[in-house]
């Protein structure tokens, strides 16, 4: 493409993934100083949220808030069949919405919880219940709510899940709320037994946000599962070619929006012994090369 990618997307990164070994405020400062980024995805800053807000207020970055680390750490399941467990997850996610609003985020993102085949429909109903409550709460604060589509039988084993079920779920929630959407991540597609074109076309009306990255889909290889290794990692599924295909499909499906650009964030992290700045530079190089190869 001859035009800048920044015309059509707000390029971001997940702070906790790109800088897993850095202090959170140092990581946020590094991203805020780097004009490659138009957006940043953050998690809770806890007692340091005032300092984080001061950095973000200076930065002119679009901010998105991810509740995933909290959910995984505290084993919060928004589709738990036990109502007290479901309510516990809902309450925690409302707290995430509060912090997201304080930090100036546009949306709070989360993921579905574990499920069992025998109780899949009951879990689905519980997730709808939680998400409707979150959308109501977020709407009062002018925020969106986004559910990221994960693998359903490999690593996170989340209910949402396969693209057809994600589309059904989003349609159910969007029938009541206009502040809900889905996050599609290129790095999850190799471990959902689907392909990019199918996922994007199936979820087209409901996608509000994109991630890109890599995965190892072979269970016999290092880095297997939802580990988000760097591009070019041994035996991995995605590199420049696959990212180019992802961008090409987004273009075909009408996601290049200069008036209201979608967030497109790198979800890439380190394998043992790797360097934060080198892996981040790797990610930028691959995106730049894929964009350069994309036809006008």
* Residue 163 burial (C-beta neighbours within 10 Å; 0-12, 13-18, 19+): buried
CA 135 – CA 280 distance, rounded (Å): 33
Q: Report helix, strand or coil for 266.
A: strand
pLDDT in tens, 74-133: 999 999 999 999 999 999 999 999 999 999 999 999 999 999 999 999 999 999 999 999
CA-wise closest residue to 66 among 98, 109, 97, 99: 109
Measured at the CA of 43, the angle between CA 8 and CA 97, to 5 degrees, comes to 90
Question: How would you write the pLDDT of the chain (296 residues) with one tens digit per residue?
Answer: 999 999 999 999 999 999 999 999 999 999 999 999 999 999 999 999 999 999 999 999 999 999 999 999 999 999 999 999 999 999 999 999 999 999 999 999 999 999 999 999 999 999 999 999 999 999 999 999 999 999 999 999 999 999 999 999 999 999 999 999 999 999 999 999 999 999 999 999 999 999 999 999 999 999 999 999 999 999 999 999 999 999 999 999 999 999 999 999 999 999 999 999 999 999 999 999 999 999 99
Distance of alpha carbon 63 from alpha carbon 66, whole angstroms: 10
Q: How far is CA 218 from CA 151, 179, 191, 206, 222, in A?
A: 14, 37, 9, 30, 9
Q: What is the dihedral of CA 52, 57, 60, 62, to 10 degrees?
A: 60
């Amino acid at each position: 493409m001859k035009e800048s990618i920044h015309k059509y997307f707000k390029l971001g990164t997940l702070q906790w993934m790109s800088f897993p070994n850095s202090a959170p405020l140092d990581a946020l400062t590094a991203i805020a100083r780097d004009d490659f980024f138009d957006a940043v995805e953050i998690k809770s800053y806890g007692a340091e949220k005032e300092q984080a807000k001061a950095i973000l207020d200076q930065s002119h970055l679009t901010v998105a808030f991810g509740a995933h680390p909290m959910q995984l750490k505290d084993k919060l399941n928004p589709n738990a069949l036990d109502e007290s467990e479901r309510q516990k997850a809902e309450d925690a996610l409302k707290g995430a919405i509060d912090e997201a609003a304080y930090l100036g985020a546009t949306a709070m993102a989360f993921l579905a919880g574990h499920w069992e085949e025998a109780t899949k429909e009951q879990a689905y109903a519980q997730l709808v219940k939680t998400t409707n409550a979150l959308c109501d709460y977020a709407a009062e604060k002018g925020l969106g709510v986004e559910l990221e589509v994960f693998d359903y039988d490999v690593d996170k084993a989340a209910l949402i899940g396969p693209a057809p079920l994600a589309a059904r779920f989003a349609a159910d929630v969007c029938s009541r709320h206009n502040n809900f959407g889905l996050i599609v991540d290129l790095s999850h597609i190799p471990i959902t037994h689907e392909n990019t074109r199918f996922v994007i076309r199936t979820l087209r009306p409901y996608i509000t946000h994109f991630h890109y990255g890599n995965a190892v889909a072979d269970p016999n290889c290092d880095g297997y599962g939802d580990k988000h290794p760097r591009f070019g990692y041994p035996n991995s599924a995605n590199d420049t070619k696959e990212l180019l295909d992802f961008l090409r499909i987004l273009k075909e499906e009408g996601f290049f929006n200069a008036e209201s650009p979608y967030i497109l964030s790198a979800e890439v992290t380190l394998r043992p012994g790797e360097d934060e700045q080198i892996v981040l530079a790797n990610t930028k190089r691959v995106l730049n090369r894929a964009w350069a190869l994309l036809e006008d």
